[in-house]
């Protein structure tokens, strides 16, 4: 009897764990699945030294995509986190990314 109860409990916990997983399409700027926030200083330095301003979101993402200093996961974080817009300076981009 204890074995049946234990197996039922394990099955219930497994179902609960699967139910709490979000599908990939639910991920966005607020919940960046598979994305890793880059090191704060590395990200700030990149935005200050490797992006020409004024810059659009597309310009900034292109500059990030061309650099080997960020992993694919970190590049995905930039893409998921940077709002559309025109940025006059690195400070504007840093504020938008909440770095």
pLDDT digits (tens, 9 = 90+) for 1-51: 555 544 444 544 444 333 333 444 445 444 445 789 999 999 999 999 999
Give yes or no for residue 74 having a pLDDT over 60: yes
Contacts of 94 (CB under 8 A, 6+ apart): 43, 44, 47
Residues 75 and 10: their CA atoms lie apart, in Å, by 38
Under the banding of pLDDT at 50, 70 and 90, the label for residue 66 is confident
Question: Could you tell me the end-to-end alpha-carbon distance of the chain, in angstroms, rounded to an integer?
Answer: 55
Give the DSSP H or E segment for 60: helix 57-65
Among 62, 61, 63, 51, smallest CA distance to 88 is for 51
**For 68-82, what is the mean pLDDT?**
93
Note whether 83 and 96 are within 8 A (CB). Answer: yes
pLDDT at 62: 93
Q: Regarding predicted confidence, which is higher, 11 or 75? A: 75
pLDDT at 33: 58
Q: Kindly report the pTM of this predicted structure.
A: 0.64
pLDDT at 99: 87
């Amino acid at each position: 009897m204890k074995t049946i109860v234990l197996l039922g409990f394990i099955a219930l916990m497994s179902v609960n764990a699967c139910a709490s997983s979000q599908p990939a399409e639910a991920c966005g700027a607020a919940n960046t699945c598979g994305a890793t926030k880059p090191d704060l200083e590395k990200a700030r330095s990149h935005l200050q030294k490797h992006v020409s301003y004024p810059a659009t979101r597309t310009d900034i993402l292109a500059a990030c995509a061309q650099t080997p200093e960020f992993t694919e996961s970190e590049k995905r974080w930039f893409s998921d986190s940077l709002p559309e817009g025109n940025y006059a300076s690195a400070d504007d981009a840093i504020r938008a990314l909440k770095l």
